[in-house]
Amino acid sequence: MKIKDLKNNIEKNNPDLKLAVQSDVGFQIGKSIEIARAHKKMTQKELAEKIGTQQPSIARIESGSLLPSISFLKKIAEAFDTQLVPPKFAFMENTNQQSITYNNFKSSISKTNAVLSPFQKRQNFQGEIKITQA
């Protein structure tokens, strides 16, 4: 089973796991790229050609099954004539007329934390997940 198929299956059958999947960094980055690409009215193939890669790579990134490097994200941002604004991985137009961001990342982490088991909470997570008692 492909990762994308697994994620779709999870989303259909378990709302709590859907929340955890959607807070995945790869998923968030992929969705922001997909939204920015659609906003620019580009196909995956056009974006791939513009940055010197192949369309399947763009599809895998957008689905969250491939986590791109920072240098790859910079190429994507340049293709959109935007800036890569860390740490939110937000794409903002240089014209400042519109911005496409995923600034709900902390909220997503909090929601994910809510569905983690006490054992998972004790693991050494990086980022905004706080260790709590169940």
Q: pLDDT tens across 2-25, in order?
A: 666 766 676 677 666 666 655 577
Domain of residue 24, CATH code = 1.10.260.40
Select the more confidently predicted residue: 111 or 69: 69
Task: Look at residue 63 in the predicted model and tell me its pLDDT.
Answer: 87
Q: How many whole angstroms separate alpha carbon 7 and alpha carbon 5?
A: 5
Residue 47 lies in a domain: yes
Strand ranges in the chain using DSSP code E only, listed in sequence order:
82-85, 90-93, 99-100
Min mean pLDDT across 49-53, 74-78, 112-116, 118-122 is at 118-122
Closest-CA residue to 91 (of 48, 26, 33): 33
Give bridge partners of residue 92 from the DSSP assignment. 83, 99
Q: Is residue 130 part of a domain?
A: no
In the beta sheet, which residues pair with residue 85?
A: 90
In a domain, 22, yes or no: yes
Give the number of domains in the chain: 1
Q: Reply yes or no on whether the pLDDT at 87 is more than 60.
A: no
In this structure, the strands spanning 82-85 and 90-93 are: antiparallel
In a domain, 131, yes or no: no
CA dihedral sign of residues 13, 15, 18, 20: negative
Residue 100 lies in a domain: yes
49 belongs to a structural domain? yes
Residue-number span of the structural domain to which 94 is assigned: 3-122
Whether 132 maps to a domain, the answer reads no
Confirm whether 13 is domain-assigned.
yes
Per-residue confidence at 124, pLDDT binned at 50, 70, 90? Answer: very low
Q: Which of 91, 86, 88 is nearest to 109 (CA)?
A: 88
